[in-house]
A and B are shown apart, each in its own frame.
Chain A
């Protein structure tokens, strides 16, 4: 037997378990163009649906004439709100407790809103049909500014006012105004204000975190197929949460859940864009029911950018107080959140502003208060978490800017200010002023490692010299050193406080070991590029002692996978990864009994060793997991059922709190506004590391999306509510050319409550990266008096900053 000559090291390596940079098993198909995305699905007789969209941001619809469209060859039907109303489907619930028009019900609230759904034999005919639908609009006053919205007499949503025109309560409590959605508070208002009022040092700043968009390479889409013979609906789609979609479809359509099968095939990136439910899904299902044929709907790029799920759009005002020595005493944050025409945020129900209350960051701030007001405007709905966990990017950007502003106020080095305010290692688990309990951290170690790696003091000395040279006319380039230290809150989450529309945010894993010692594991999550099929097999390999290469991981088919809440908010590893480990441990517990029987010893006399159970003290006596698997199915063992399967539904006791320390060095051409990123160092602590190569890939991707957001990516509107950045010409999606080299590094501080100590990493680099890039730009101008300037830092805005500081002579 080969096993007998293999060393223990060989056996460990053979498993390709946790800690191994195992190559991604997904890549064989992706690199050969053999992925299977929603738009690759082609069914017999499949029809194609597409939308007539509103050119106006706010208008009443006076008529919709579909006569000419129905004459277009290949066009079979045109659905309007009038067709959906008898089914009760002209509006649908949003994940945020609001409701959203599926098709325009008498008026439109944003440019690009869905007005009618043209169903045709192919997408060409559908496009011609769209051209032939005649919609008459009566323009209404457009509001694109949330502050103006809160003062305006214009009622954007008629369902927000009662018969006396007074605002009626929304999903999260009373409205202050008819265009107001909710107020959400955390922390203690009066004590915070008192500390700030009496503080010796207070820094104040207002910042706008601009509206942007997750922009996955694959846009949103679905194929709905209603089988009228057996009454079953199959829905393929770009769903980050297929099980939740099944439940929501059942609730709003009345089709029993067992008759609905939702399948998420390969997904080309999600980043939050594919969490919510969109009118395209509802219309495709209805169209399939009406026509009896499968119906496909796929967004084009403009549809995607203009209509499905934007991110951010937070106006944040902060006050931070400190002692003259720099010890922070209190933090206050007031947010005005622009949600667009419908509140379609994807947040846990009890958190209408997501986890914005992580905004005390990595610092030991004794007193804090947060207030968020959600507002309707004439912009697209959304407010999803673009590569972050429920508004954590906004929170981290806010605190990391406030720290910089406070450093300016104190005349202190921003790295030192962070250091003296970090939560100390011995304070964990740490109860933050705004309510969260941080599980573990060692911030000082990470910070010192990062600053040493970049030789921080030398960088500052170089920067001082650069400023002198600039003032002496020797150079026209300034140097910025961007710092950020972030703490994320991921892995939603404990069912006791996290649910979406009442669905608890646990997750699941089901494992079947096959008789010959291979296995299949199914999870309630769904990979969109994260490499779950690779990493979850590694967790299992380490837990059950079978090689990762012998374990298939399957997700995304609600008929086969156990129920789970899906993949977003870096929750897959913290929640489903934990379920995987726990299910693996159930397998191992049964395997132990089988091994003991086969070895003719008591259960307690065998112990697990890499890929086998050995008799304690007699390592030559063992049974491999492969042998145990065969015996489980083929040997009658008294008192033990045949088979080797397990399922675990994991409700995490707490969130996990990954953290990291980033440094960016940037040179800025003052005359053109062009930034050049000289260096980017990223230290991530995501607890136990499952696959270092995949972690590095996730960090690279997240940093690149951070660079995009910080340096130019935005969804901009003009005063008429027209989207100015509806194509990739103007919406900044970086290419390899714009992306700098990234240096990655790590520390490991395991989560104490997670079965394998892992915390999640996919979103950390985005959360920490955005303030790091932004701080680098702003730091370059600190010597010339800049306190704060808003993102995105594209060329002209950087130029404008230089210009306003008088640097153009």
Chain B
């Protein structure tokens, strides 16, 4: 558990980060909280000759609650999300999910940006951001662009972010209605056996809109458009729940690991989703 030698860089601004990325290309990686990258380096599964620590970079922090949108700086920690009263009111699903990530020590260091950009299918924030239809701001020496969370994930650890780009912020449309983040895990600190993010809005007695994303049930987070669509216009009754669950099961592709075989994961995914929808609906 000793990493290979590496150069440690601690730039003060984004220009410095981008210059290092341009200079070293594939040999450089940026690090936010370090909870994914450092273990990979210690296992010598990640070869990072140039490690760029973002902790001292200006302009990557802060939570802004706008009238229509919420902006999270990439270096916002899970602990900051949990403790932010305005955010808890504007988008309570973020707090509910963050409380289910790892443990307080990890959450003190773990960041939104790192959780999102790493592309680990076990991470909770990617699915959550897909549910919320967030946009990710990517900055490279060539300029700034935005990519939708629902378009960002290509495969495990493969994302739309170019090697020379840094994910600097997340923009989330203010969610409406009820929410739930439901996660089954083996113990504190574990990745999900299955997790579901649900945001659901109600008009009268019917579901007006529903967004559903699943975590750790495929090599990317899974935004299940069909599952959401199955609820819209219904009273979220048993038939609608079954239809949503069936649609979701058509979108996920879990693999066997120590948490259990595929049949178990699919079953639990259905149970977790139903519970998440029921909880979100009760809050809508």
Shortest C-beta distance, A441 to chain B (Å), equals 37
> B264 interface residue, CB < 8 Å from A?
yes
Q: Are B188 and A671 in contact (CB under 8 A)?
A: no
> A796 interface residue, CB < 8 Å from B?
yes
Q: Are B267 and A301 in contact (CB under 8 A)?
A: no
Within 8 A of B (CB), among A708-732: 712, 716, 724-725, 729-730, 732
Q: Name the A residues within 8 Å of B2 (CB-CB).
A: 123-124, 126-128
The docked-state distance in angstroms from the alpha carbon of A162 to that of B139 is 70
**B1, B5, B44, B184: which contacts A672 (Cβ < 8 A)?**
B184
Q: Are A732 and B267 in contact (CB under 8 A)?
A: no
Q: Are A671 and B4 in contact (CB under 8 A)?
A: no
**B1, B187, B258, B263: which contacts A716 (Cβ < 8 A)?**
B258
**B5, B103, B264: which contacts A735 (Cβ < 8 A)?**
B103
Q: Are B188 and A735 in contact (CB under 8 A)?
A: yes
Interface residues of B (CB under 8 A from A): 1-2, 4-5, 44, 103, 184, 186-191, 193, 258-261, 263-264, 267-268, 271-272
> For residue B258, which residue of chain A has the nearest CB?
A730
Q: Name the A residues within 8 Å of B191 (CB-CB).
A: 729
The docked-state distance in angstroms from the alpha carbon of A735 to that of B258 is 19
Contact with B along A668-685 (1 / 0, CB 8 A): 000111100000000000
The docked-state distance in angstroms from the alpha carbon of A417 to that of B44 is 56
The docked-state distance in angstroms from the alpha carbon of A808 to that of B259 is 19
The docked-state distance in angstroms from the alpha carbon of A646 to that of B259 is 57
Whether A796 touches B44, Cβ cut-off 8 Å, given contacts A732-B186, A735-B187, is no
> A131 interface residue, CB < 8 Å from B?
yes
Q: Are B268 and A799 in contact (CB under 8 A)?
A: yes
**B188, B260, B263: which contacts A795 (Cβ < 8 A)?**
B260
Shortest C-beta distance, A709 to chain B (Å), equals 14
Please provide the 10 A-B residue pairs with the shortest distance between their CB atoms, ordered closest to farther: A796-B260, A127-B2, A300-B1, A737-B188, A796-B264, A730-B258, A671-B271, A735-B188, A738-B187, A799-B264
The docked-state distance in angstroms from the alpha carbon of A671 to that of B103 is 26
Q: Are B1 and A738 in contact (CB under 8 A)?
A: no
> A692 interface residue, CB < 8 Å from B?
no
Q: Name the B residues within 8 Å of A800 (CB-CB).
A: 264
Shortest C-beta distance, B139 to chain A (Å), equals 33
**A131, A724, A729: which contacts B4 (Cβ < 8 A)?**
A131
B contacts with A: majority SS: loop
Which one of B103, B189, B264 has the greatest number of beta carbons of chain A within 10 Å? Answer: B264
Within 8 A of B (CB), among A281-307: 300-302
Q: Name the A residues within 8 Å of B4 (CB-CB).
A: 127-128, 131
Q: Are A732 and B187 in contact (CB under 8 A)?
A: yes
The docked-state distance in angstroms from the alpha carbon of A729 to that of B259 is 11
> For residue A730, which residue of chain B has the nearest CB?
B258
The docked-state distance in angstroms from the alpha carbon of A127 to that of B43 is 11
Q: Are B186 and A672 in contact (CB under 8 A)?
A: no
Q: Name the A residues within 8 Å of B187 (CB-CB).
A: 712, 732, 734-735, 737-738
The docked-state distance in angstroms from the alpha carbon of A300 to that of B3 is 13
Q: Are B188 and A796 in contact (CB under 8 A)?
A: no
Q: Name the B residues within 8 Å of A734 (CB-CB).
A: 187
Shortest C-beta distance, B27 to chain A (Å), equals 18
Shortest C-beta distance, B214 to chain A (Å), equals 15
Q: Name the B residues within 8 Å of A716 (CB-CB).
A: 258
> A121 interface residue, CB < 8 Å from B?
no
Q: Name the B residues within 8 Å of A794 (CB-CB).
A: 186, 260
The docked-state distance in angstroms from the alpha carbon of A301 to that of B268 is 31
The docked-state distance in angstroms from the alpha carbon of A302 to that of B1 is 8
**A128, A302, A730, A737: which contacts B5 (Cβ < 8 A)?**
A128
Interface residues of A (CB under 8 A from B): 123-124, 126-128, 131, 300-302, 671-674, 712, 716, 724-725, 729-730, 732, 734-735, 737-738, 794-796, 799-800, 803, 808
Q: Name the B residues within 8 Å of A799 (CB-CB).
A: 260, 264, 267-268
Q: Name the A residues within 8 Å of B264 (CB-CB).
A: 673, 795-796, 799-800
Q: Are B189 and A735 in contact (CB under 8 A)?
A: yes
Q: Are A796 and B261 in contact (CB under 8 A)?
A: yes
Whether A672 touches B103, Cβ cut-off 8 Å, given contacts A131-B44, A794-B186, A795-B186, is no
The docked-state distance in angstroms from the alpha carbon of A795 to that of B272 is 14
- New A-B pairs, 5, CB < 8 Å, besides A672-B272, A735-B189: A128-B2, A672-B268, A794-B186, A796-B193, A796-B259
Shortest C-beta distance, B276 to chain A (Å), equals 13
**A131, A795, A808: which contacts B184 (Cβ < 8 A)?**
A795
Q: Are A712 and B5 in contact (CB under 8 A)?
A: no
The docked-state distance in angstroms from the alpha carbon of A127 to that of B4 is 8
The docked-state distance in angstroms from the alpha carbon of A127 to that of B6 is 14
Q: Are B261 and A674 in contact (CB under 8 A)?
A: no
Shortest C-beta distance, B215 to chain A (Å), equals 15
Shortest C-beta distance, B176 to chain A (Å), equals 29
**B186, B267, B272: which contacts A712 (Cβ < 8 A)?**
B186
Shortest C-beta distance, B193 to chain A (Å), equals 7
The docked-state distance in angstroms from the alpha carbon of A128 to that of B188 is 33
Q: Name the B residues within 8 Å of A128 (CB-CB).
A: 2, 4-5
Q: Name the A residues within 8 Å of B186 (CB-CB).
A: 712, 732, 794-795
Q: Are B271 and A729 in contact (CB under 8 A)?
A: no
The docked-state distance in angstroms from the alpha carbon of A302 to that of B2 is 12
Q: Are B258 and A725 in contact (CB under 8 A)?
A: yes
- Could you list 14 A-B pairs, sorted by A, with CB under 8 Å? A124-B5, A126-B2, A128-B2, A300-B1, A671-B268, A673-B268, A712-B187, A725-B258, A729-B190, A735-B103, A735-B187, A795-B184, A795-B186, A803-B267
Q: Name the A residues within 8 Å of B268 (CB-CB).
A: 671-673, 795, 799
The docked-state distance in angstroms from the alpha carbon of A732 to that of B189 is 11
> For residue A716, which residue of chain B has the nearest CB?
B258
Q: Are B271 and A724 in contact (CB under 8 A)?
A: no
Shortest C-beta distance, A723 to chain B (Å), equals 11
Q: Name the B residues within 8 Å of A674 (CB-CB).
A: 184
The docked-state distance in angstroms from the alpha carbon of A794 to that of B260 is 9
The docked-state distance in angstroms from the alpha carbon of A735 to that of B190 is 11
The docked-state distance in angstroms from the alpha carbon of A795 to that of B1 is 30
The docked-state distance in angstroms from the alpha carbon of A123 to that of B42 is 13
Which one of B2, B189, B191, B267 has the greatest number of beta carbons of chain A within 10 Å? Answer: B2
Whether A301 touches B260, Cβ cut-off 8 Å, given contacts A131-B44, A735-B103, A794-B186, is no
The docked-state distance in angstroms from the alpha carbon of A800 to that of B268 is 12
> For residue A733, which residue of chain B has the nearest CB?
B187
Q: Are A724 and B258 in contact (CB under 8 A)?
A: yes
Q: Name the A residues within 8 Å of B258 (CB-CB).
A: 716, 724-725, 730
The docked-state distance in angstroms from the alpha carbon of A796 to that of B184 is 11
Q: Are B1 and A301 in contact (CB under 8 A)?
A: yes
Q: Are B190 and A672 in contact (CB under 8 A)?
A: no
The docked-state distance in angstroms from the alpha carbon of A724 to that of B44 is 18
The docked-state distance in angstroms from the alpha carbon of A126 to that of B2 is 9
Q: Are A672 and B260 in contact (CB under 8 A)?
A: no
The docked-state distance in angstroms from the alpha carbon of A773 to that of B2 is 38
> For residue A799, which residue of chain B has the nearest CB?
B264
The docked-state distance in angstroms from the alpha carbon of A302 to that of B263 is 30
Shortest C-beta distance, A123 to chain B (Å), equals 6
Q: Name the B residues within 8 Å of A131 (CB-CB).
A: 4, 44
Q: Are B259 and A672 in contact (CB under 8 A)?
A: no
Which one of A300, A729, A734, A796 has the greatest number of beta carbons of chain B within 10 Å? Answer: A796
The docked-state distance in angstroms from the alpha carbon of A300 to that of B268 is 34
